[in-house]
Copies of this chain bind each other. A is one copy, B any other.
Amino acid sequence: MEKLTVVKVGGKIVEEQESLKQLLSDFSKIEGYKVLVHGGGRSATIIASKLGIESKMLNGRRITDEEMLKVVTMVYGGLVNKQIVAGLQAIGVNALGLTGADMNYMRSEKRPVKDVDYGFVGDVKEVNAGILADLIFKGIVPVLAPLTHDKIGNLLNTNADTIAGEAAKALAQYFEVTLMFCFEKKGVLMSETDDESIIANLTPALFEQYLAEGIISGGMIPKLENSFDALNAGVKEIVITRADMIQMGLGTKITK
């Protein structure tokens, strides 16, 4: 199978002109087939605030009421996504911006209300990777916004990490997939206070050991659990790295 790299970048990098330009240049240098998944939360919060709409967060997750859904549709699906697409086209990458509604490539269901009503937030139910794979084989580079739809008329806000993971898993039928998560550190660290203490290779066994020893903790745990889930679903390799290192193959590599 041919190789495909799915790169997920957070909001901060794509929302500032200079860092976006650098990221797109680095991304364009990744060899072989590729997909870019982006966030946009900071811009959504700023635009919402200017429109007099309050951003409500709970456990780091956005509560998406009807007004906020309009904002994220504008910001994620329009402003951020299309600026990335235009920026990639300018450097010869044949990008195509997509939400889950486009070609029905990712269908979700509105999250059931239990203790918390997250509003118009979608849990992914179905990925139609065939149509994406067709386009990728033709040289198209999908740029995925963190929005899905329920196929009964509603767009739904969906976490960009989830979009990246679900797309990577579904595309693993067609490609040997590397899933790359970019964050502010160079990788998973042995010591939180030492930015150079990168764990080069991680496996489920090592993860359990580091977890027991307290080396890995906090917000990194769900990220890594998601990574193992993706590996179990057929993704070849996960890389956790910093955005400026995506074309170097550095950072933490996670394999089974």
Q: Which positions in A face B, CB cutoff 8 Å? A: 47, 50-52, 70, 73-79, 81-83, 85-87, 89-90, 94-99, 101-104, 131, 134, 138, 140, 147, 149, 151-155
Give the chain B neighbours of A86 by CB distance below 8 A.
101, 149, 153-155
Secondary structure call for the A interface: helix
Assembly CA distance A86 to B122 (angstroms): 14
A78 close to B74 (CB less than 8 A): yes
Q: Which residues of B contact A94 (CB under 8 A)?
A: 103-104
In angstroms, Cα B188 to Cα A124, docked, is: 48
Q: Contact: B149 with A89, CB < 8 Å?
A: yes
Q: State the oligomeric state as a number of copies.
A: 2
CB distance from A122 to the nearest CB of B (A): 11
Chain B residues near A81 (CB-CB < 8 A): 77-78
Q: Please give the distance in Å from A228's CB to the nearest CB on chain B.
A: 32
Between A and B, 28 residue pairs with Cβ closer than 8 Å are A47-B74, A51-B51, A73-B78, A73-B79, A74-B75, A74-B78, A75-B78, A77-B78, A77-B81, A77-B97, A78-B78, A78-B79, A78-B81, A78-B82, A82-B99, A83-B155, A86-B101, A86-B149, A86-B153, A86-B154, A89-B151, A90-B153, A94-B103, A96-B98, A97-B99, A97-B101, A97-B102, A103-B140
* A97 CB contacts on chain B under 8 angstroms: 77, 99, 101-102
Q: Which residue of chain B has its CB nearest to the CB of A134?
A: B138
Given contacts A97-B102, A140-B103, contact A82 B73 (CB under 8 A): yes
| Chain B residues near A152 (CB-CB < 8 A) | 90
Residue of B nearest to A148 (CB): B86
A154–B50 CA distance with the chains assembled, in angstroms: 24
What are the residues of chain B within 8 A of A99 when measuring CB–CB? 82, 85, 97
Cβ–Cβ < 8 Å partners of A149 in chain B = 85-86, 89
| From B76, B95, B153, contact of A102 by CB (8 A) | B95
Docked-complex contact A74 and B85, CB < 8 angstroms: no
Chain B neighbourhood of A131, CB < 8 A: 138
Chain B residues whose CB sits within 8 angstroms of the CB of A70 once the complex forms: 79
Alpha-carbon distance between A131 and B100 when the two chains are bound, in angstroms: 20
Question: How long is the Cα–Cα vector from A6 to B79 in the complex, in angstroms?
Answer: 26
Residues of B within 8 A of A52 (CB): 50
Q: Nearest residue in B to A51 (C-beta to C-beta)?
A: B50
Residue of B nearest to A104 (CB): B89
